[in-house]
Amino acid sequence: MLFPIIPLFFIKLTYVSLLERLKLLKTDSITMVFVTSELEKEANDFSQLQIHPKHREYVEMVANVIEQYLEINHLALMGFAWKAIKEWQIKHKMTALEASYKDKEFRDQATKEMFDITKGYLKRVLRNKADEPIIDLAIDKAYQFYLNNIS
């Protein structure tokens, strides 16, 4: 089991310029509450996947950026990202590999959609909807990282 059995998993965020950008609070940290069972499920699902090493490397790199803003179980975050990729593939009837052979503009737009899907998954497991701007910031930073380093 990845987490002790408790109704909620309290996650503490650490950040440098997050407060200035969001103008939320005048403290050094904020507590976000996620639904524990959802985090456990995603972590378990992801740990059982067989993924091409290069794809896993890209998802790992992006997850590391997100984790600079959200202190969340790494495998759960990877699970949400992989679930978003799968959802995008089904919606567009195209594999991520096929999309990778398209032009840069198409790839970047496809990736943006996948990031937005991931953002939706993370927001759905939040207990306090007031924390949604923090998820927005984390995903936006991760997408910028993708554009600058992977795209």
3 found inside a domain: no
Q: What is the pTM of this model?
A: 0.71
2 found inside a domain: no
Q: What is the per-residue pLDDT for 117?
A: 96
Domain hosting 21: range is 8-149
Number of domains forming the structure of the chain: 1
pLDDT tens for 57-112 read 888 899 999 988 887 888 888 888 888 988 998 999 998 888 888 999 999 999 99
1 found inside a domain: no
pLDDT tens for 22-68 read 343 333 334 456 667 676 777 776 666 666 778 778 888 999 999 88
Amino acid at 148: N
Contact 71, 12 (CB under 8 A): yes
Q: What is the per-residue pLDDT for 34?
A: 66
